[in-house]
Amino acid sequence: MRAGICDMVAVARIINATLVIPELDKRSLWQDSSNFSDVFDEDHFISSLENDVKVVKKLPKELASATKAFKHFRSWSGVDYYEEEIARLWDEYQIIRAAKSDSRLTNNNLPPDIQKLRCRACYQALRFAPKIEAMGKMLVDRMRSYGPYIALHLRFEKDMLAFSGCTHDLSPEEAEELKTIRENTTWWKVKEIDPVEQRTKGYCPLTPREVGVFLSALGFPSNTPIYIAAGEMYGGDSHMSDLLLRYPLLMNKEKLASVEELEPFINHSSQLAALDYIVSVESDIFIPSYSGNMARAVEGHRRFLGHRKTISPDRRTLVRIFDKIDQGRMKEGKNLSNRIIEIHRRRQGSPRKRKGPIAGTKGTDRFRSEEAFYVNPLPDCLCQKVS
């Protein structure tokens, strides 16, 4: 959501358009009725961008019956595409409606002023609504009362497992339930997934049990406060018991806040996710069990704020280690710990340039293989000093 909004700000600048405050998707899996102003500080967004792009809350009444173009912008497009193909629509239309907003701009090779505008939009203009900011700060303060804390983005929710086809550590009944969900969700195109192959390639989120082994091997003591940034865990306590045994100080929104305090946000998944986002960005260490949209956005924000420590698990290597432990061919202890620490020595959010495409890839695969702009918005988002 954040990336799509910020890309549309940049597109509006490129094609010299006034941007109407975006409508949020209300038909997605989460069935959230929130509007833009329920999640973000609308007035701050408009005023922060006034020197870059004109932003209005609604389409002006005089344009209600104006000619409108409904357009699917091409994925990962550069300035030329928008200046030549999209801007040409102004000859016939007064309004252009973007059907999608995600990944509409290329990650690299854009003019510096457009890249910096994406940064201003994402990290300065796009602030959460005041009630979310206040609640997020309160959750951070309550976590800090336990000491320095880890924010763990634990993607072990029903929708994630159903979409990815990952069933490791699940019962046959649970695996069948997830498969049924995938088959009945029309906009998920891939129905048949080999869960073993998926996990071997590192495409599955770590299970709560695997996360416990990982954290122990990294040397985190059992009294480490951990904030679970996620929705309801699939299978509940049955899958969380091992992690809870290792780390009793597992906290989440529901444990840190009262029912009354959380009541305004209940049934609004995007607002609840915004609370997790705030607690994750402000954490001492952020660890995602899967590199999904939320994890990538948080990692990029933490890089922008000074390369705050983010440990990205090497899932492909880790699953081979976990399998050896399960088979009795490897034991937890100092040797395992040294190995996992060494594997992750350079996966902790240290400064580096954004990764380009994988060599040999072409077309869409080339862009898809690049590191996304909002995962590592540097060096584009740094002020350049003249020596």
CB 73 within 8 A of CB 104: yes
pLDDT tops 70 at residue 387: no
Read off the pLDDT band of 25 (50, 70, 90).
confident
Q: What are phi and psi of 128, to 5 degrees?
A: -70, 160
CB 230 within 8 A of CB 156: yes
Residue 363 pLDDT? 84
pLDDT tops 80 at residue 242: yes
Residue 382 pLDDT? 83
Residue 187 pLDDT? 83
Helix, strand, coil percentages, rounded to 5, for the chain: 45, 10, 45
d(CA 51, CA 315): 43
Query: Which tops the pLDDT comparison, 356 or 246?
Result: 246
Tokens, residue 218: 């990294």
Distance of CA 88 to the CA centre of its chain: 33
d(CA 98, CA 19): 11
CB 224 within 8 A of CB 249: yes
**Residues 194-232: pLDDT tens digits?**
999 999 999 999 999 999 999 999 999 999 999 999 988
CB 128 within 8 A of CB 36: no
CB 186 within 8 A of CB 264: no
Q: What average pLDDT is seen over the chain?
A: 94
Q: Report the percentage of the chain scoring pLDDT > 90.
A: 84
Q: Tell me the β-bridge partners of 98.
A: 71
pLDDT tops 80 at residue 176: yes
Among residues 281, 271, 328, 280, the alpha carbon closest in space to that of 301 is found at: 281
Give, in order, the Cα–Cα distances in Å from 1 to each of 39, 102, 108, 313, 350: 11, 8, 20, 24, 26
In 138-241, the DSSP E strands lie at 150-153, 226-228
**Residues 135-163: pLDDT tens digits?**
999 999 999 999 999 999 999 999 999 99
Q: Which stretch of DSSP H or E encloses residue 286?
A: strand 285-288
Tokens, residue 20: 């109407």
Q: Tell me the β-bridge partners of 105.
A: 77
How many CB atoms within 10 Å of residue 61?
7
Residue 30 pLDDT? 65
DSSP 44: H
pLDDT tops 80 at residue 239: yes
Q: Is 191 left (phi over 0), alpha (psi -120 to 50) or beta?
A: alpha
Question: Which residue carries 């080999």 as its tokens?
Answer: 194
Rounded mean pLDDT of 167-191?
Answer: 92
d(CA 6, CA 301): 13
CB 108 within 8 A of CB 244: no
3-state SS class at 142: helix
Residue 114 pLDDT? 97
Rounded mean pLDDT of 41-59?
Answer: 97
In 44-101, the DSSP E strands lie at 55-56, 68-71, 95-98
Q: Which stretch of DSSP H or E encloses residue 20?
A: strand 19-20
Read off the pLDDT band of 235 (50, 70, 90).
confident
Give the chain's end-to-end CA distance (angstroms, integer).
Answer: 38
**Number of helices (H) and strands (E), helices first, in the chain?**
18, 8
Tokens, residue 165: 């086809």
Tokens, residue 377: 């918005």
Rounded mean pLDDT of 314-342?
Answer: 97
How many CB atoms within 10 Å of residue 321?
20
**Residues 107-120: pLDDT tens digits?**
999 999 999 999 99
Residue 236 pLDDT? 81
Provide the whole-model pTM.
Answer: 0.94
